[in-house]
Amino acid sequence: MRSLNLYDEQDIRFEESAKPVIEQADDVIIKVKAVGICGSDISRYKKLGPYVEGMTFGHEFSGEVTAVGAGVKNVKPGDRVSGCPAFYCGECESCQKGEPSRCEKLHVIGARVPGSYAEFVKLPEENIVPIPDNVDYDTAALVEPSSVVAHGFYRTSIQPGAEVAIMGCGSIGLLAVQWAKIFGAKKVYAIDIDDTKLEVAKEVGADVLINSLEKPAHEQIEAHTNGKGVDLAVESAGSPITSAQVFALPKKGGEVVFMGIPYADINIERFYFERIVRNELNVLGSWNALSSPFPGKEWSSSVHYMSTGQINVKPMISHRLNLQEGPETFDNLINRKGSYVKVLFYPELG
């Protein structure tokens, strides 16, 4: 089958791989209809390299079930599905406490087992997320990143009527704009340095657009909030710079939740660090998208709000490509050739 396999830093190859087969009673094999590039995929391609050389990459996908193991009860061939790509051990302290996102051995497909940049992918039955007929495959391919964002919001204490700032309008930030509204935000501020992404943020529900190249983001936020700041600031850019700047956005006693991963050291100027202390901020980390019972309410909620239209991913999808274009696309992404928001591959094409 056609696949994209990661061999080393900046070495991803389009090639033939063995099609997955049923080995366990709970195995489910899915024909991949659409699969998205995650920000973490870009970081691993750019400078981290694979966990296993030559591993089929990718973990955000949707598709149609083609085969199931003898023990599978609730999934059948022909079902439209997405999938939770994460595996947990079930034995560590966090798993026993019902906190699978904190599992000591947490990993996802595309790391140590084959991922979804391929014509077919395999998962256990409990990882399968059914998709209703009114959620198309493009939308369903973003159930995983949507669930990541939902997990972060569930960690906060956001209340209806809150004002929320989203720092970074990539895929996670654009989903965060929409989840902020679902959680009851009355006003959402979208912050980025790319006007194209800010326009997409407006299309998916942002109330105020802030280009932080024009003036520091916190100064613009203060101008809109009578000098107070927002109730909740979401760091979704994954940048060492914004990971410091985000502390200047909340009001006294406000919250910051980190959803981005900078993959670099963070140097925090005194001005920003003192905001944590002097404003008594609550600072939260958010990792993965899991809760108990597995895979968690993040997944069912994502599907629900996609089905109602309250999560609209269509404006986010900037490129629809075949897998053969994968190596060139990853190179373009890390070298900033072209304007990308969300890229979807269609393994059936080409």
Q: What is the pLDDT of residues 202-214, one digit of tens each?
A: 999 999 999 999 9
DSSP for 232-294 reads: EEEE-S--TTHHHHGGGSEEEEEEEEE-----S-----HHHHHHHHHTT-EEEE--SS--SST
Q: What is the pLDDT of residue 349?
A: 81
168 and 277 in a single domain? The answer is yes
User: What is the domain-level CATH number for residue 37?
Assistant: 3.90.180.10
134 and 152 in a single domain? The answer is no
Identify the band that residue 219 occupies on the pLDDT scale cut at 50, 70 and 90: very high
Q: Are strands 163-167 and 2-8 parallel, antiparallel or unpaired?
A: unpaired
Domain membership of residue 175 (yes or no) is: yes
Residue 274's identity, in one-letter code, is E
Residue 224: domain span: 147-285
pLDDT tens, residue by residue, 67-119: 999 999 999 999 999 999 999 999 999 999 999 999 999 999 999 999 999 99
Q: What is the pLDDT of residue 350?
A: 62
pLDDT tens, residue by residue, 294-348: 999 999 999 999 999 999 999 999 999 999 999 999 999 999 888 899 999 999 8
26 and 90 in a single domain? The answer is yes
* Mean pLDDT across the chain: 97
Q: What is the pLDDT of residue 132?
A: 98
119 and 93 in a single domain? The answer is yes
113 and 135 in a single domain? The answer is yes
State how many domains the chain has. Answer: 2
Q: What is the pLDDT of residue 336?
A: 87
114, 122 in Cβ contact below 8 A? yes
How far is Cα 188 from Cα 4, in angstroms, rounded to an integer? 37
How far is Cα 287 from Cα 74, in angstroms, rounded to an integer? 28
138 and 153 in a single domain? The answer is no
pTM over 0.95: yes
Q: What residues pair up with 255 in beta bridges, in sequence order?
A: 232, 282
How far is Cα 175 from Cα 169, in angstroms, rounded to an integer? 9
